Chain A
């Protein structure tokens, strides 16, 4: 079997708040395989972004990560800055949610693209600029030569996100981590960006991690999905299998609350009752227990671990659904 590109084991992330540590991510383990697209799905605060910010050493100052993140066998979690800098932007590209605040406002986008190419590909300024132009063409920005001289605020939201993607892909990385890349965009632009990511994925050997709260986004794009809740992984499996037969009650609730074209507009969309957990007071047992109709005493006492059900599917639940 081929080694995975990223091997994440027992990754936990916590933030210092006053004199207590808030657990944002608890014991997450999974692999990202070669040329795979993995969707990470969860609501705000489920720890999906923090998992990857921690992996890349980009946590906020008060954040702390433990566990292990192996990139092709090399430990990168809490690695020294100079080792991380060889990989970030080079082998590991990241696209952030808000491209307006995510691009330096006082720098032309050509320069922002070129400096990556100069840093990692050892290009001269002229070569790097040519590479930047090529990237703008690849992400389908109109008038790319002119746009090189534009500032981020002079571009539309969709174009800024394309620049972000160009930035992450300029060194042809092994892994592209896209953190809610379409959340800040309107629906038609969302679709264009997803099509762009899908095309890039097909034409390169890059493995893609798609972080989103939107199941519809992963449905068409990802090979496998990891569902997260309250900082824990709750279900992992192939996209088609999860959609056709969820094992975790939370996944089932998410799927039920997805709107479809055939729903009756007079009937309210089904919702999962209750509120997402407050990470400052996580329960001892399953984080989802108090919203779960299948929960028993055991769920309140004992936190279920993500365990493999079959070769390719795992679930963290004491009383999983039968998957049909």
Chain B
């Protein structure tokens, strides 16, 4: 029931995303063929007609919507001979691999840092972790990425500075770290907050009054409850990583969807941008739904329809 209701909201949301991105793209000044030097007016007319760009705006919107519904996002205006679907099919696996690995790294490292900080509350380790976390949240990834490249790539010469190299592990390390850093910071703070709140709750006192070892108290009584707010954050975290990847892929010159999106936007490649927006929108909605379901799985009060 819960799932059905969420699905019913997802479709209209996606429709609004598609519509807004269409009209916003068209409202932006310039056009897809501005960069091509000195086209004859007649030639330009022919090209525009070939892509239906000469038709009234509302009719173009209709064509775009009906095609999109059948799963076709049309041809790219800039990458000649490529359809938007093909470009996304090439880029998405790469972006997904990066994003998923970054998410896993963020959860493991962020969760661990948060737990350690909470168990050492107000100690030196806690202060160091929290100071680092504040820094991680404050500095955007387009700043950390070049710094990482400078240090590990150019100065230490440990890792390649950019490129995909068919997904060689060494090439993925820096992009994943740059993507994960802000999420590690946010997750560490969430996990610490959740742990601290739970640690001083009455049921932890009960668990200690039962004579359970502290490790058992933490693992069985504290962690599951403390992780609940974290699971609720998974959806937004994935959205953050996906939007972060737009910039990161450009900086590291990775052939993912993000790079197509940024270049598509700069080139006014209307179908490409809208295709990526709709796919990303659908993914973010789906992942948020998954995160809510995980939340229900972890909290019996939600699962059994209490409250």
Contacts and interface: CB of A to CB of B under 8 A. Distances in A.
Contacts of A58: 205, 208-209
Contact of A103 (B203, B211, B220, B306): B203
Interface string B275-304: 000000000000000000000001111001
B213 A106 contact: no
Interface string B219-240: 0110011001000000000000
Given A60-B200, A101-B202, A153-B306, A94 B209 contact: yes
Interface string A101-127: 111111100000001100110000000
B304 A167 contact: no
Given A107-B220, A151-B301, A154-B304, A98 B209 contact: no
B212 A105 contact: no
A57 to B, nearest CB: 8
A178 B300 CA distance: 28
B304 A119 contact: no
B210 interface: yes
Contacts, number: 82
B206 interface: yes
A38 to B, nearest CB: 19
A105 B202 CA distance: 11
Contacts of A167: 206, 210
Interface string A58-101: 10110000000000000000000100111111100110101001
Contacts of B202: 96, 98, 101-102
6 contacts: A57-B208, A89-B212, A96-B209, A105-B300, A151-B300, A167-B206
Contacts of A89: 209-212
B207 interface: yes
Given A115-B220, A151-B300, A153-B306, A104 B207 contact: yes
A105 B201 CA distance: 11
B214 interface: yes
A56 interface: yes
B contact face: mostly helix, strand, loop, or mixed: helix
Given A96-B202, A151-B304, A106 B299 contact: yes
A96 B206 contact: yes
Q: Please provide the 6 A-B residue pairs with the shortest distance between their CB atoms, ordered closest to farther.
A: A89-B210, A89-B211, A88-B211, A101-B202, A85-B211, A104-B203
Interface of A: 56-58, 60-61, 81, 84-90, 93-94, 96, 98, 101-107, 115-116, 119-120, 151, 153-154, 164, 167
Contacts of A151: 300-301, 304
Given A101-B202, A115-B220, A153-B301, A106 B225 contact: yes
B306 A154 contact: yes
A120 B216 CA distance: 14
Given A106-B298, A151-B301, A154-B304, A88 B206 contact: no
Nearest to A108: B300
Given A151-B300, A153-B306, A105 B210 contact: no
Contacts of B207: 104
Contacts of B224: 106-107
Interface string B164-208: 000000000000000000000000000000000000111101111
Contacts of B209: 56, 58, 88-89, 93-94, 96
B221 to A, nearest CB: 5
Given A151-B304, A154-B306, A167-B206, A104 B221 contact: yes
